[in-house]
Structure 1
Amino acid sequence: MADEPNKNGPVPGARADIDPDFFDYRSLLDKDEQALLADLRAWLTEHLVPIVDDYWARAEFPHQLIPQLAPLDVMGLSLDLPGREPQRRLLSGFASLEFARIDSSFASFYGVHSGLAMGSIYQCGSDEQRDRWLPAMRRLEKIGAFGLTEPHGGSDVAGGLETTARRDGDEWVIDGAKRWIGNGTFADLIVTWAKDVTDGSDGGVRGFVVEKEMPGFSATKMENKMALRITQNADLTLDGVRVPEANRLQNANSFDDTNSILRATRGSVAWSSVGVMTAVYEVAVQYAKDRVQFGRPIGANQLIQDLLARILGNLTASLGMAVRGAQLQDDGVFHDEQGALAKSFCTSRLRECVAWAREILGGNGILLDYGIARHFNDAEALYSYEGTREINTLIVGRAITGLSAFT
């Protein structure tokens, strides 16, 4: 099917007089960082905006955009890679915001590939492994996925991994299944976490880079999702997959190593939430100015202005939390409970914002053409992944009281 622009609804952020950055957080970025974000926004506006609703409705991923995105060089921004200095988490956070402002699924693709997969190899891999895989991933010649969640293990996966790895000479034999794996249907490299059972006992959690061509590995697309429909979530099966020792992440030996990756990416979910809040705020403000009822724009009504102010308040508070989290990450003092609070707070506020924006648009709010319905549905996925609100609040509660409520 040809990619035909959707001309029925407003382009997000089309009006220059709508400024969602009420406290001017972008002023914290230098000129080069702002220029990169401007290029990214221009690319997304030109290439993704015209086709995103169609691909969301069809639950398909626009693979043709991947090589076109590569020249922007936005993958692994915070990593120290050859030929590029590591960039601030503040910049990679705003990049996540820009992706999510247009589409949460594309933001998920970015986060899974650039954050979870590349981040795992960078943080837990050897120098040789970083050199082997990261340059191609940076150029989007190899796509990454992150295999942690399992059919029977979500919130309790830290202590309940069923996927096993057994050492056999210079290879590891991996058996098990993974579920909800973003990019899973088309990823070349799947960072897979498994319990070491080499000696017949629990030898800790280890990380492996499974390559899609390895015998015994298969990926099946999950169907009938109501959210993140462009994201190609997969059920993965690992049936006696033989992985060479050279593909075992040399510095991944416990779930603490796995959690060090998740700590950072929970912060990226906060940024994605702000991106979606930005999108629905822009659409709602534009609609409130343009939609005339009873002889005047609905934005002149007190109830509409109240909803817009609530959305902006949630957006601004969440952006402030995301910005501070990025600064703490750059300073190397970002803790689990801070990532957990940012994720749970921002996604909860997001849920409120998409509902208020849909309310402003009335019946038009359930049509893809008006730029709210897709974000409304996708917000449900952001609310749940990277740890549910309840699990994240227990992490925060443990930090507050010094007492664990986990059972």
Structure 2
Amino acid sequence: MSIFKNIKQTFSVLKSVDIAAIAKLSQKIDLGEVMKTVGELDDRQMAGLMRMLKTKARKGQHNLPPIDGDFYDLSLKLTPHQREIQLKVRQFMEKEIKPIANDFWNRAEFPHHIIPKMAELNICGLAYKGYGCPGESFLMEGIMAMELARIDVSISTFFGVHSGLAMGSIYLCGSEEQKQEWLPKMQKMEAIGAFGLTEPNVGSAVAGGMETTCELIDDEWVINGQKKWIGNATFSDVTIIWAREKKTHAVKGFLVRKGNPGYKAEKMADKMALRTVQNALITLTDCRIPESDRLQKCDHFKDTAQVLKMTRAAVAWQAVGCARGAYENALKYTKKREQFGKPIARFQLIQNHLVEMVANLTAMQTMCFRLSEMQDQEIMTDEHASLAKVFCSMRTRDVVSRAREVMGGNGILLEHNVARFVADAEAIYSYEGTKEINSLIVGRAITGYSAFVS
């Protein structure tokens, strides 16, 4: 029985050994004799041999733990169907986007050829019901934002503008006719959307200081003004334009179609972040829009705010993806980069940076996971979403900074896949509500006092 047990233990060790390695080993030693000798070992001797083999195995590179930013295994909380969607998107990003991300980012161009491939994922309007949309949870929408940003924040932003802000505006504020016309083809990415809210002179104060105006003249709305930082607007098929009515000062939304007279979109240049995203400066000069293209369920900025509230959770998830991408690439680097004869991952100071990175990342992930659960339960408030945006955008800055630091000088090179995350984190920090504005939203909720300047 003892011999049988020893041989069984030996086979359990050999199962983990590479076949090619066994073949090579057989040229040097008599494996039959080895097996015979092992079979004759007593329990104490076998235990010693097993300890030695396991110690040797632990020192081997192939037995190092996998590189995975999900330290608390939140993926285990997903259903098999949800996990399948997540991994499908991850595979797409690894195969189609990762090899080209640095090149397009560096050239500040958009890879239009990936749109049909992205459409095949069937994730546009993921949480919307009807109109060809999958009807999944907002949790999965957040997971998708993370997976996209984990490889390329620019692609995640392109998708968030199209699927979240543009489709979301129509979904929440459009008439049934408008939903039927636009949402099915936007879901299939046969039509691409943009979202025009921010202006050259007004960002955080857009709720009360919007300068773009609209006026109803002879059954048509005439829009004048400018919009700035509008992602996708250089090639969008429809752009949601928000404008203040001259007479009533009410904020209204409009579906501005591609090629509409009086609409001009100029690509913005010299950005240091999200360079793949095609942001535009939009100029509207006596741009005439029929009443049928006015969003029928929007008559106040609070309606616009509902769209922002719905998408802000996904932006927090986007920050998670940015941090996760930087962390995982940095961790991989530290295991391969050697100094003083050993991988730098073995040094205490490097491990300290890595631990602080994964701690921040884990805190961000768990916060966003709970936020999305609240959104699916329809109990998420503005302040809940704002707190996640504040915290995650701040912690992402810290994570990408440490990721760059453990790489030394190589951290500023695109080829090592961290520099891009460092730059893109700055854009996440500001868009969809700055840290200051979101802080005031949370501050008002917890104190009962509004510190906004009117």
TM class, shorter-length: over 0.9
Q: Which amino acid aligns with 2:272?
A: M
SS at 2:243's partner residue? strand
Looking at structure 2, the residues matched to 333 and 244 of structure 1 have their Cα atoms a distance apart, in angstroms, of: 37
SS at 1:158's partner residue? helix
Q: Which amino acid aligns with 2:409?
A: G
2:342 to 276, 296, 311: 296
1:360, distance to aligned residue in structure 2 (A): 0.3
Superposition map of 1:354-369 within 5 A: 354-369=400-415
2:54 corresponding residue in structure 1? none
1:149 to 198, 201, 215: 198
1:191, distance to aligned residue in structure 2 (A): 0.6
1:309, distance to aligned residue in structure 2 (A): 0.6
Gaps of 5+ in 1: 1-14
SS at 2:409's partner residue? helix
Q: Which amino acid aligns with 1:204?
A: A
Greater relative CO, 1 or 2 (CA 8 Å, sep 6+) = 1
Is residue 125 from structure 1 mapped to residue 174 from structure 2 by the alignment?
yes
1:203, distance to aligned residue in structure 2 (A): 3.6
- Once the two structures are superposed, what CA deviation does each residue of 1:173-232 show, in whole Å capped at 9, x if it has no partner? 1111000001111111001100012xxx33410111111211000000000000000000
1:319 corresponding residue in structure 2? 365
1:190 to 228, 233, 239: 239
SS at 2:407's partner residue? helix
Call closer, same or farther: CA 1:174–1:287 in 2, change over 3 Å.
same
1:137, distance to aligned residue in structure 2 (A): 0.3
1:110 corresponding residue in structure 2? 159
CA contact (8 A) 1:267 1:322 kept: yes
1:64, distance to aligned residue in structure 2 (A): 0.8
Is residue 245 from structure 1 mapped to residue 294 from structure 2 by the alignment?
no
1:389 to 407, 415, 435: 435
1:181 to 230, 233, 252: 230
Looking at structure 2, the residues matched to 179 and 374 of structure 1 have their Cα atoms a distance apart, in angstroms, of: 23
Looking at structure 2, the residues matched to 93 and 265 of structure 1 have their Cα atoms a distance apart, in angstroms, of: 9
1:286 to 309, 324, 332: 332
1:277, distance to aligned residue in structure 2 (A): 1.1
- Once the two structures are superposed, what CA deviation does each residue of 1:54-81 show, in whole Å capped at 9, x if it has no partner? 1011000001111111111110000012
Displaced runs of 4+ in structure 1, greater than 3 A? 82-85
1:260 to 294, 306, 311: 306
Looking at structure 1, the residues matched to 275 and 131 of structure 2 have their Cα atoms a distance apart, in angstroms, of: 35
CA contact (8 A) 1:277 1:353 kept: yes
SS at 1:63's partner residue? coil
CA contact (8 A) 1:106 1:230 kept: yes
Superposed CA RMSD: 1.1
Is residue 344 from structure 1 mapped to residue 390 from structure 2 by the alignment?
yes
SS at 1:62's partner residue? coil
2:29 corresponding residue in structure 1? none
Looking at structure 2, the residues matched to 161 and 47 of structure 1 have their Cα atoms a distance apart, in angstroms, of: 40
2:11 corresponding residue in structure 1? none
Looking at structure 2, the residues matched to 225 and 75 of structure 1 have their Cα atoms a distance apart, in angstroms, of: 27
- Once the two structures are superposed, what CA deviation does each residue of 1:252-279 show, in whole Å capped at 9, x if it has no partner? 1100000001112211111011101111
Looking at structure 2, the residues matched to 75 and 92 of structure 1 have their Cα atoms a distance apart, in angstroms, of: 9
CA contact (8 A) 1:325 1:334 kept: yes
SS at 1:180's partner residue? strand
Alignment TM-score, normalising by the size of structure 1 = 0.94
1:89 corresponding residue in structure 2? 138
Looking at structure 2, the residues matched to 302 and 81 of structure 1 have their Cα atoms a distance apart, in angstroms, of: 53
- Once the two structures are superposed, what CA deviation does each residue of 1:299-332 show, in whole Å capped at 9, x if it has no partner? 1111111100111011011111111111111111
2:420 corresponding residue in structure 1? 374
Looking at structure 1, the residues matched to 250 and 275 of structure 2 have their Cα atoms a distance apart, in angstroms, of: 35
CA contact (8 A) 2:132 2:184 kept: no
2:66 corresponding residue in structure 1? 17
Q: Which amino acid aligns with 1:162?
A: E
Looking at structure 2, the residues matched to 177 and 158 of structure 1 have their Cα atoms a distance apart, in angstroms, of: 15
Looking at structure 1, the residues matched to 141 and 200 of structure 2 have their Cα atoms a distance apart, in angstroms, of: 31
- Once the two structures are superposed, what CA deviation does each residue of 1:11-62 show, in whole Å capped at 9, x if it has no partner? xxxx981121111111221111111111111111111111111101100000
Of 29-38 and 236-245, more deviation after overlay is shown by 29-38
Q: Which amino acid aligns with 2:122?
A: D
Count of residue pairs the alignment pairs up = 390
1:398 corresponding residue in structure 2? 444
Superposition map of 1:67-78 within 5 A: 67-78=116-127
Is residue 214 from structure 1 mapped to residue 260 from structure 2 by the alignment?
yes
SS at 1:166's partner residue? strand
Gaps of 5+ in 2: 1-63
Q: Which amino acid aligns with 1:328?
A: M
Looking at structure 1, the residues matched to 345 and 371 of structure 2 have their Cα atoms a distance apart, in angstroms, of: 34
Q: Which amino acid aligns with 1:393?
A: S
SS at 2:208's partner residue? coil
Of 313-322 and 81-90, more deviation after overlay is shown by 81-90
- Once the two structures are superposed, what CA deviation does each residue of 1:326-365 show, in whole Å capped at 9, x if it has no partner? 1111111111111111101100000000000000000100
Is residue 272 from structure 1 mapped to residue 318 from structure 2 by the alignment?
yes
- Once the two structures are superposed, what CA deviation does each residue of 1:68-106 show, in whole Å capped at 9, x if it has no partner? 111111100000124555110111111001110111110
Question: Larger Cα Rg: Structure 1 or Structure 2?
Answer: 2
Q: Which amino acid aligns with 1:323?
A: F
Q: Which amino acid aligns with 1:406?
A: F
2:106 corresponding residue in structure 1? 57
CA contact (8 A) 1:116 1:262 kept: yes
CA contact (8 A) 1:143 1:189 kept: yes
SS at 1:186's partner residue? coil
SS at 1:210's partner residue? strand
CA contact (8 A) 1:212 1:218 kept: no
CA contact (8 A) 2:147 2:321 kept: yes
Looking at structure 2, the residues matched to 241 and 16 of structure 1 have their Cα atoms a distance apart, in angstroms, of: 58
Q: Which amino acid aligns with 1:72?
A: L
1:31 corresponding residue in structure 2? 80
Q: Which amino acid aligns with 1:27?
A: L
